[in-house]
């Protein structure tokens, strides 16, 4: 497609490995974004909730990178995947790299992702790969807990004050263009759950059919580069550092 930017060629990975790295990248990038809220959340309870959710995503990423390294068999560690790959090699969804914005943006981003990841874990808990099936079995419970948090906040904001409703709807309108990429594998169930919560929240799905994609091929929005620069600078400045 001519609309995707040219540049470094896509990284070639075996399909199984590619899928694992994609899921790990989603979780690492989202964890990094959520971590930006620490000490800045609207109140202490939310600060702790976002920090806890971030830790779960980070733990998932670590387990999946470790497994990916074992399958690849080239001796790559979780840190090699997280800290020593370029933007073009990251295969995460565009949604998770989007900036936090206000709390409504963060909540809607989390909600869209939680609905997707719950469906993914259901799928993967039947995986032939023992390690992946185990991560998925644990992930199911964790994502359900995250989903409870994000969906209840979608309803509280959407069905709250004039101001909170407007902010929630603005977040929906600006993030919707990144949702085809994650609803793709499970279009009906993803959309069904989102519409159920939107109905409670009084939020409206945008009419605009424009959708961005490319994250799974390593073509990202401008935001990922900045996120990686902040996340990776220390390891790149002091290669192999430990503490």
Question: Which of 19, 175 has the CB closer to another protein?
Answer: 19
Applying CB under 8 A, does 212 fall inside the site for another protein?
no
Applying CB under 8 A, does 23 fall inside the site for another protein?
no
Question: Which of 11, 133 has the CB closer to another protein?
Answer: 133
Applying CB under 8 A, does 141 fall inside the site for another protein?
yes
- Cβ-contact 95, 113 below 8 angstroms: yes
Question: Which of 58, 120 has the CB closer to another protein?
Answer: 58
Residue 232 dihedral angles phi and psi, to the nearest 5°:
-100, -10
Instruction: Pick out residues in 102-131 that bind another protein (CB under 8 A).
Output: 130-131
d(CA 97, CA 189): 23
Applying CB under 8 A, does 35 fall inside the site for another protein?
no
- Cβ-contact 29, 64 below 8 angstroms: no
d(CA 89, CA 110): 23
- Cβ-contact 228, 34 below 8 angstroms: no
Stretch that binds another protein, among 96-104, 137-145, 209-217, 228-236 (CB under 8 A): 137-145
d(CA 53, CA 103): 15
End-to-end CA distance of the chain: 45
Count other Cβ atoms within 10 Å, centred on residue 199.
11
Among 71, 133, 180, 231, binds another protein (CB under 8 A): 133
Among 20, 21, 63, 172, binds another protein (CB under 8 A): 63
The footprint of another protein (CB under 8 A) covers 45, 48-49, 51-60, 63, 130-131, 133-135, 137-139, 141-142, 145, 148-149
């Amino acid at each position: 497609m001519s609309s995707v930017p040219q540049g470094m060629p896509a990284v070639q990975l075996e399909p199984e490995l590619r899928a694992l790295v994609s899921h790990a990248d989603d979780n690492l990038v989202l964890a990094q974004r959520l971590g930006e809220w620490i000490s800045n959340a609207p109140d202490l309870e939310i600060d702790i909730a976002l920090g806890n959710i971030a830790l779960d995503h980070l733990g998932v990423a670590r387990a999946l990178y470790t497994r990916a390294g074992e399958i690849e068999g080239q001796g790559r560690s979780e840190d090699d995947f997280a800290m020593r790959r370029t933007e073009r090699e990251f295969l995460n969804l565009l949604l998770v790299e989007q900036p936090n914005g206000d709390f409504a943006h963060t909540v809607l981003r989390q909600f869209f992702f939680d609905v997707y990841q719950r469906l993914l874990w259901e799928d993967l808990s039947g995986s032939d790969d023992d390690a992946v099936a185990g991560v998925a079995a644990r992930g199911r419970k964790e994502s359900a807990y995250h989903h409870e948090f994000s969906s209840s906040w979608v309803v509280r904001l959407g069905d709250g004050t004039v101001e909170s409703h407007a902010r929630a709807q603005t977040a929906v309108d600006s993030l919707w263009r990144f949702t085809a990429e994650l609803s793709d594998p499970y279009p009906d169930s993803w959309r069904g759950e989102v519409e159920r919560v939107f109905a409670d929240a009084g939020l409206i799905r945008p009419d605009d059919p424009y959708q961005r994609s490319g994250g799974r091929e390593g073509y990202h929005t401008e935001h990922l580069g900045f996120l990686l620069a902040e996340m990776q600078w220390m390891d790149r400045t002091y290669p192999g550092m430990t503490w």
